[in-house]
Amino acid sequence: MTDVREGRRAGASEWVGAAVCAVVLAVGHLVTGYLLLVAYTTEPDGSWDRQAVTNSGFAAGFGLALAVVTVLLTLWFVRAQWLRAWWYAIPTVLAVAAVLRLTLLAPVL
């Protein structure tokens, strides 16, 4: 495969680098998605259940932190031209979901 921008053929090391980056980001996205799933499925049992609200907020906050880490990793990998720019979409959606759970969709007592 010829790289149009530089006029050279992509070597095996570039393919391996792209695959490693994709796996690292995929694992990060899966962990973030799991934390957000926990945050969205945790609802208080009643007006006395403050622990569920705390757990949901912690899961959403930690998910937001991981989304920021994956955005920074994506920035690094895209700038190194190992991955394409569409990889920004996944952590952006996860970060928006985390912010929504922390603000507008937070569980209430």
- Per-residue pLDDT in tens (0 to 9) along the chain, 109 residues: 555 555 556 688 889 999 999 999 999 999 999 999 999 999 999 999 999 999 999 999 999 999 999 999 999 999 999 999 999 999 999 999 999 999 999 998 8
CB neighbour class for 23 (10 Å; exposed up to 12, middle 13-18, buried from 19): exposed
- Contact call for residues 62 and 34 (beta carbons, < 8 A): no
pLDDT given for residue 79 in this prediction: 96
Compute the distance between CA of residue 46 and CA of residue 39 in angstroms, rounded to an integer.
17
Please state whether 7 falls in left (phi above 0), alpha (psi between -120 and 50) or beta.
left
pLDDT given for residue 13 in this prediction: 82
The neighbour count for residue 94, using CB atoms within 10 Å, is: 23
pLDDT given for residue 12 in this prediction: 82
The reported pTM is: 0.86
CA dihedral 37, 29, 84, 15 (to 10 degrees): -140
pLDDT given for residue 14 in this prediction: 86
